[in-house]
Structure 1
Amino acid sequence: MSSFALLFTLSFVVVTMALSRWQKLGLEKDIAISAVRAAVQLLAIGYVLLFVFRTEHPLLIILIIAIMITVASWNAGQRGKGLKGIHWRIALSIAITEIAMMALMIGLHIIQPTPQYIIPISGMTVGNAMIVAGLFLNQMKRELDASRGDIEALLALGATARQAIQPSLKRAVKSSMIPTIDGMKTVGLVQLPGMMTGMIVAGANPVEAVRYQILIMFSLTSAAAITSILLSLLTYMLWFTKESSLRR
């Protein structure tokens, strides 16, 4: 894509802002700021990745992935405001998920251990794990609001905190995984995913692009399960006080 053609992509932003103004949604400023941030961030990471791909230094790869995990955990942690220590628990869950995914892919020789493979796939893994973590925390809030009476009754009958909150945890884990599972059910029929589309546009063989997309879909489903289950194990006590009573 030429720079001239890239400039014309601003027309999509202008149309969105015009629709917002027409409907008096008040989103024009947010749309403009988001568009500028997205462009600057993507161009910056493009040049950074160009440098990393040329040097192929392991420490640079680890640094980039660490930054991804830090930003993702901070963003997902905003869904759990008021829960002490939620950010590092999310970071730990995402980090373990990332390590497990990369260990399997590289250990089984599914991908080559080069920055061109590791960084983009890590970005998709961490990004999906971030979304799952945010969905889990949102659902847990709703679960506790709806099931507070049941949980307190179980505690009064002598159940441990884990036993009392286990049904809510299970429902939150299932809810956080639904978008990933639904996406896998309809991929290829309802949508052509970004990675596959990008490879085809770049001139890759469509069948080869499909193979990589299958890898991504399967790995993201596994990553969603690992992240949500780990997060349920690491965070359930945060919903209780030191006296094992449910927090307000």
Structure 2
Amino acid sequence: MNQLAVNNLSLFFSFALVMIAVFISQKEKLELSKDIFFSVIRAVLQLAIVGYVLKYLFQVNNVVLTASMSFFIVLNAAWNAHKRNPHFIKNYWETLLAITVSTYITMGILIVSGAIKFIPSQVIPISGMIASNSMVAIGLCYRNLASKFHDQRQQVLEKLALGATIKQASQPILRESIKVAMQPTIDSAKTVGLVSLPGMMSGLIFAGVDPVHAIKYQIMVTFMLLSTTSLGSIIAGYLGYKKYFNQQLQFVDAIKKETHV
């Protein structure tokens, strides 16, 4: 097994890379320096805490604790995706449903098929990987729904005036939003191995695993992410588009009321 050595000097030089970003922000007046420092401090604290928590969970190897940690990840992913929804009416439970279903259907298949075991060292990292991608896809779906409904307000109103149902009037926007949500994952799948060597594959290679064996895991991850982003964005999209219509089935532009409390 290869051993990775990350000492204090390594961390210092890697932090110097952050300062390059800060320098560019200052020079170009991007006003991102505060956000960069805040994100770095938050990342260090969160990773330190999670590191000790995972160390404990791996040692205990308890089914209930493993499942609880996995669901905690899903809850946080749902909350972050929920916050990215520009609509003035937000339903956290719908977002949670989308991420829960997309995450655990995908993970359930992996466990049943024997691809991974229900142990903390496998379930928790895979939960984070799946839930985070579903979170990004759902966030993109929400934002695109808001943008397209605002830009195509007149077309939606005309369709409703001609007798279309809200689903018929929303279908092109809904399809485009789901497509936009899935596009980053699809693009990543197209370039994997040629442009990027993703996290799991790189981690296994770092750990000394045969690259050919690591590739099999990465193929599994690629299939897994395509599954979860498609499920998550479809569920979130079909639940989310209805928020753009009131109980009288009249169109409501979310952008105009984004300051609503």
Measured against the shorter chain, the TM-score band is over 0.9
C-alpha distance in 1, partners of 2:176/2:28? 37
Please, which of 139, 151, 170 is the counterpart of residue 175 of structure 2?
170
| Cα distance change on mapping 1:179 and 1:82 into 2, 3 Å | closer
Please, which of 157, 163, 176 is the counterpart of residue 158 of structure 1?
163
Deviation at residue 86 of structure 1 after TM alignment: 2.6
- What residue is the counterpart of 2:195 in the other structure? 190
Deviation at residue 200 of structure 1 after TM alignment: 1.2
Residues 83 and 238 in structure 1, CA contact (< 8 A), matched pair in contact too: no
Unaligned runs of 5+ in 2: 254-261
- What residue is the counterpart of 1:44 in the other structure? 49
Unaligned runs of 5+ in 1: none
C-alpha distance in 1, partners of 2:178/2:86? 19
> SS state of the match for residue 118, structure 2?
coil
Please, which of 38, 60, 66 is the counterpart of residue 65 of structure 2?
60
- What residue is the counterpart of 2:7 in the other structure? 3
Please, which of 226, 239, 251 is the counterpart of residue 246 of structure 1?
251
- Give the paired residue count: 248
Deviation at residue 197 of structure 1 after TM alignment: 1.2
Instruction: Write out aligned runs for 1:121-132 (5 A).
Output: 121-132=126-137
| Higher RCO (CA < 8 A, seq sep 6+) | 2
- Letter in structure 2 aligned against 1:163: Q
Cα shift readout 1:123-152 (whole Å, capped 9, x = no counterpart): 010000000001101111121122211211
> SS state of the match for residue 9, structure 1?
helix
Which moves more between the two structures, 1-10 or 21-30?
1-10
C-alpha distance in 2, partners of 1:202/1:39? 23
Residues 204 and 214 in structure 2, CA contact (< 8 A), matched pair in contact too: yes
The answer as to 2:150 corresponding to 1:145 is yes
Residues 136 and 172 in structure 1, CA contact (< 8 A), matched pair in contact too: yes
Deviation at residue 83 of structure 1 after TM alignment: 4.1
C-alpha distance in 2, partners of 1:204/1:6? 25
Deviation at residue 172 of structure 1 after TM alignment: 0.7
The answer as to 2:215 corresponding to 1:201 is no
Cα shift readout 1:49-87 (whole Å, capped 9, x = no counterpart): 111111111221222122212221221112224443432
- Letter in structure 1 aligned against 2:239: L
- Letter in structure 2 aligned against 1:225: S
> SS state of the match for residue 112, structure 1?
coil
C-alpha distance in 2, partners of 1:25/1:80? 25
After TM superposition, where is structure 1 displaced by more than 2 Å over at least 4 residues in a row? 5-8, 81-86
User: With structure 2 as the length reference, what TM-score do the two structures score?
Assistant: 0.90
Deviation at residue 111 of structure 1 after TM alignment: 1.2
User: Aligned residues: percent identity?
Assistant: 36
